[in-house]
């Protein structure tokens, strides 16, 4: 079953608790939390204090996506705040294996994220250490961008690498996920789909928007 991970980057922060509650009731499988530092990507979002403040509002796992320079500085604060999964970008460090180990040593799941122009080979040597590969289908930094279709080939290639090496890990696709693009990503091999604008800013309720995504995958 393909999981839906609503991204709170697109939520109404003045009503965040209620929107998270509606997403959970609507069938969200986990909650995606985009952390941006204004350096690795041209935007600033949230820190551990916000994550900690919403931890008790939901039982959903927190899928924290670190779009930051020097991600090793942020691991312990976000784990302490309640993260269940931490994904870091391969573009941020030449020693990503050490960072992945640090995450795993904290007792949470570890993911490696790659931007649209980054080859999938950058994660191949890490597959044995990972729980998740996160493939960006937009250039990170802002929500509401259109889906980059050439990333579908990368999803297929990643799925092939994982299966050929006999690993069992999640393949997550993040960016431009709608009822139109969700089936394409799932067919290519994705097991988690991150959806922000199409969940929190769609024409219908949050619950209905999530159900529309799930229905598109049937």
pLDDT digits (tens, 9 = 90+) for 123-176: 999 999 999 999 999 998 777 789 999 999 999 999 999 999 999 999 999 999
Q: What is the pLDDT of residue 167?
A: 94
pLDDT at 94 over 90: no
Q: What is the pLDDT of residue 131?
A: 98
Return the DSSP state at 113: E
Q: What is the pLDDT of residue 204?
A: 86
List the CATH number of the domain containing 110.
Answer: 3.20.20.70
Set 29, 37, 131, 174: catalytic member = 174
Q: Select from 165, 156, 153, 110 the least CA-distant residue to 133.
A: 110
Burial 158-181 (b: 16+ CB within 10 A, else e): bbebbeeeeeebbbbbbbbbbbeb
Q: What is the pLDDT of residue 72?
A: 94
- Please state the pTM of the whole predicted model: 0.96
Q: What is the pLDDT of residue 43?
A: 87
C-beta neighbour count of 151 within 10 angstroms: 26
Q: Active site includes 174?
A: yes
Longest dimension (CA), the chain: 46
Average pLDDT (58-74) is: 96
Looking at the 3D structure of the chain, how many domains does it have?
Answer: 1
Q: How far apart are CA 84 and CA 206, in angstroms?
A: 23
In terms of residue numbers, what domain contains 58?
3-216
Q: How far apart are CA 66 and CA 57, in angstroms?
A: 22
Q: What is the pLDDT of residue 132?
A: 97
Q: Active site includes 12?
A: no
- Within 13 A of 192's CA, how many CA atoms are on the CB side? 24
Set 34, 37, 63, 131: catalytic member = 34
Q: What angle do CA 205, 28, 8 make, to 5 degrees?
A: 70
* Order of all β-strands in the sheet with 3-6: 3-6, 192-195, 170-174, 132-136, 109-114, 85-89, 62-67, 31-36
């Amino acid at each position: 079953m393909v999981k839906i991970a609503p991204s709170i980057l697109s939520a109404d922060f003045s009503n965040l608790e209620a929107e998270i509650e509606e997403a959970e009731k609507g069938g969200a499988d986990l909650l995606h939390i985009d952390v941006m530092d204004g350096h690795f990507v041209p935007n600033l979002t949230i820190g551990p204090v916000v994550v900690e403040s919403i931890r008790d509002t939901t039982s959903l796992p927190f899928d924290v996506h670190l779009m930051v320079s020097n991600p090793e500085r942020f691991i312990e604060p976000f784990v302490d705040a309640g993260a269940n999964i931490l994904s870091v970008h391969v573009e941020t460090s030449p020693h990503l294996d050490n960072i992945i180990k640090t995450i795993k040593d904290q007792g949470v799941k570890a993911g490696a994220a790659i931007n649209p122009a980054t080859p999938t080979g950058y994660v191949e040597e890490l597959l044995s250490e990972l729980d998740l590969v996160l493939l960006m289908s937009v250039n990170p930094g802002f929500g509401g961008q259109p889906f980059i279709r050439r990333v579908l080939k990368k999803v297929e290639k990643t799925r092939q690498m994982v299966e050929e090496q006999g690993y069992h890990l999640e393949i997550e696709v993040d960016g431009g996920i709608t009822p139109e693009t969700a089936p394409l990503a799932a067919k290519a091999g994705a097991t988690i789909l991150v959806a922000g604008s199409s969940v929190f800013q769609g024409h219908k309720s949050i619950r209905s928007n999530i159900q529309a995504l799930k229905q598109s995958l049937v």
